[in-house]
Structure 1
C-alpha cells in the first residue's frame, strides 16, 4: 500500500547563510535559538554542529527548523530543537502541522541513533499537546514563558499600554536626568558582562555565559550584533541591558541594575528606551526574555510593560 501523499518536504543542510537569513526575516515571530549566528556561537563555545532544514510546501519555502547535534559514538548523536520550527505565515493548519512534526519524528529518533529533545515553538494548548502526542512525542518538561510586545502600534499607544504603576516609575526615571547610550560595537558588552556575572553567581539564576555572549557578538558583527543600552547618571553608568536581534524581532537577554540604578528607576528607563530603539530601527516584536516563578518581582516588572504573556507547549522526547 502506498504511503499517504505528503505535500511537505524538508531540505536538510542545502541552504547558505544568506538564504537562511532571508527566510528568517520573513518569519512572523522569529526566535534567537533558530538563528544561524546562535548555531555558530554554540558550536564555538560548546562544540557540536547544527542541521539546517528548510520546510517546503508544494516546492515553496514556508518554514525552517534548526537542530543542534552532538556525536558521542559512531551510532549515537544527541539532538535538540529549541523554539522551532518557525513559519513564514501566521499559522499552519493543524493537520498539516502534524505532517511536518511526523517528518521530524521520523528523522530524529532513538531507534535511529538520533534521540531528540524537542522544545517546539507552539503555544501550550490541549490541541498542541494532542498533536505532538499523535506524532510520537512525549512531554517531559514545562514550557518557556515570556511576554511578547507587538511594536507595530505608535509610541503613544505603546506608552498608554504600560501598567499605571510601571508608567509612573518611568515618569520618575525620566525626571532623574538619565542619559542613554546605545552600543553595537561590543565595547559596552565587556562592561556589562562583569556585573552581570557577579549578579548571576550571587543570585544563582540561569543565563547565557559571558563567553557565549562575546562569541555571539563576534559572529554577528557583520549582520545584526547584540545591542547594549546603558543608562548614565552624572557621567557614570548605573544600569545596562543587552538585546539580541533576530529577524524582525529582538530578545531582552541580559540586564544589570546597580544600587544607584534601582534608586533612579534606571531599568524602567532602559526597557522603555529599548522599545523606542527597536521600533525606530524597524523591528516589529520584542520578547522580554522569559518569566520565572522563582523571581516574581522580575515577572511583575516584565508583565507591567503591557505585552502579551505566553507559554510554550513544553519539552518533548
Structure 2
C-alpha cells in the first residue's frame, strides 16, 4: 500500500516486491471477504467484478485486485483477470471496471483517471502485461467524454476487437403505474395476455429455479440455432456468491411445465438481466412478458434505480431489440458504452494476445456462419420473434 507522504513496499500476487509510485493505492492486499467488503461500497458494482465470477468463469486466470483510497476510504477499485505465459508475457483483463462510483458520495472523474493510471503502471509497465479494460461507462458528452479524455491522456488505445456494448436501461425511479403506462402498446398487450393465461409464477434465489431456466435456455438455443454462452456457468457463480449478492430468478409454468424464465443480478444501484429464455409452449402464452415484468418489480422493490436489459443488436437480432425497446419504455433511447481500451505493454505480450485474438476471431466467424446456415435450413430466419433475450458477454 502507498499513502500520501510515505511510500511502502507491497508484495504482489506473483511474489514480487513493488515500490508503489501512486499515493493511496493498494494492490493484492485482500482476500475474498475483503474484496466483497470493498465492492459493497460502490453503486457501480456488478457481477463481472465479483471474486466468484472471476474464479469460476475464468478458471485459467489469476485474480488481482487494486484499490484506490482517499482518507482511508475506497473511491475506486478493480478486479483483474491475469493470465501469464512464463518468459513471454500475458494479459490483464478488467471486465466492467474499474468501480468508481462510491455509495453516498459523487463520483469523481479524477478517481477514474487515478486508478486507470495506477493499473497501467502496475500491470502494463511493471508486470509487462497486455492490459485490456472495458469500463462500465456510457458514451456521451458528460461522463463518457471525461472517461475518453482520461484514456487519451494515459495513451490508452481504443480497441475494435469487440463492438461497443449497446443496451436499453429502464429508469426505475418512476412509480410502477408510470412504468406500465410508458410500455409500448405491443408490450402492454403482451403483458395483459400473459396475465390472463393462467401461468404459475415462482421466484427466488433457489439454485433449482436457475437450473430449470438453464434447461429452458438450452432449448431456446437449439430452436433458434445460436450459441451465445453457457448459462450454467452463471448458475455455478450464483451458488458460490455470498447470500447478499445472489441473483434472483423468476420462472413461469403452465400445466406444471416450465415455459419461461429470467435471471437478474442486483449489485449496487443498477440491476442486470443475466439470462432469459422461453420454451416453445410459452410462445403463444406470451410468458416472457410476465416473467420480465415480475423481475423488474423485484428489482424496483429491492432498491434498484436502473435495470440494464443486457445487450441488443438491431441488425443481428431485431426481434429481441424490439422486445427490449418496448419494455424500456417511451422515450428511452438505445445506450452505447465507450468500448474497450488497451495498453499493449511489451512487444511479446502484444504478439501473444493479438495473435491468439486473430485465431479466435476466425473461429468465431466460421461458427457464426455455420449456425446461420443451420437456422436457415430449419426455416428459422434472423427475425424470429422475441421469445427469448440473448445477453452478451461484455468483453
Give TM class, smaller chain: 0.7 to 0.9
> Deviations 1:21-56 (Å, cap 9, x if unpaired)?
33333322322211222123224xx32121122221
> Deviations 1:64-122 (Å, cap 9, x if unpaired)?
211111122245231101111112144323x5533332222212227842111111122
Partner of 1:72: 85
Partner of 2:153: 134
Partner of 2:235: 214
C-alpha distance in structure 1 between counterparts of 2:319 and 2:303, whole Å:
30
Greater strand share, 1 or 2? 1
Partner of 1:176: 197
| TM-score, reference length from structure 2 | 0.71
Q: 1:189 aligns with which of 210, 219, 224?
A: 210
Number of positions where the alignment pairs a residue of Structure 1 with one of Structure 2 = 311
Partner of 2:321: 299
C-alpha distance in structure 2 between counterparts of 1:110 and 1:104, whole Å:
9
Structure 1 163/72 Cα, relative in aligned 2: closer, same or farther at 3 Å?
A: same
Partner of 1:47: 60
Report whether the alignment pairs 1:62 with 2:75: yes
Partner of 2:391: none
Report whether the alignment pairs 1:24 with 2:39: yes
Answer whether contact 1:119 1:143 (CA < 8 A) is retained: no
Larger Rg computed on CA atoms: 2
Matches within 5 A, 1:237-256: 237-256=258-277
Could you list the runs of 5+ residues in structure 1 that have no partner in the other structure? none
Report whether the alignment pairs 1:310 with 2:331: no
Partner of 1:229: 250
C-alpha distance in structure 2 between counterparts of 1:303 and 1:8, whole Å:
44
Residue 221 of structure 1: CA displacement?
5.8
Report whether the alignment pairs 1:258 with 2:274: no
C-alpha distance in structure 1 between counterparts of 2:276 and 2:297, whole Å:
17
C-alpha distance in structure 2 between counterparts of 1:295 and 1:110, whole Å:
41
> C-alpha root-mean-square deviation of aligned residues, in Å?
2.7
C-alpha distance in structure 1 between counterparts of 2:207 and 2:153, whole Å:
46
Report whether the alignment pairs 1:103 with 2:122: no
C-alpha distance in structure 2 between counterparts of 1:18 and 1:228, whole Å:
25
C-alpha distance in structure 1 between counterparts of 2:148 and 2:200, whole Å:
47
Q: 1:199 aligns with which of 206, 220, 228?
A: 220
C-alpha distance in structure 1 between counterparts of 2:269 and 2:167, whole Å:
18
> Deviations 1:170-223 (Å, cap 9, x if unpaired)?
122112222211142211222222331243355454543244123212212644
Answer whether contact 1:8 1:100 (CA < 8 A) is retained: no
C-alpha distance in structure 1 between counterparts of 2:27 and 2:74, whole Å:
13
Answer whether contact 2:214 2:232 (CA < 8 A) is retained: no
| TM-score, reference length from structure 1 | 0.87
C-alpha distance in structure 1 between counterparts of 2:42 and 2:53, whole Å:
17
C-alpha distance in structure 2 between counterparts of 1:238 and 1:276, whole Å:
20
Could you list the runs of 5+ residues in structure 2 that have no partner in the other structure? 6-20, 343-395
More off after superposition, 177-186 vs 8-17: 8-17
Residue 256 of structure 1: CA displacement?
1.1
Report whether the alignment pairs 1:116 with 2:131: yes
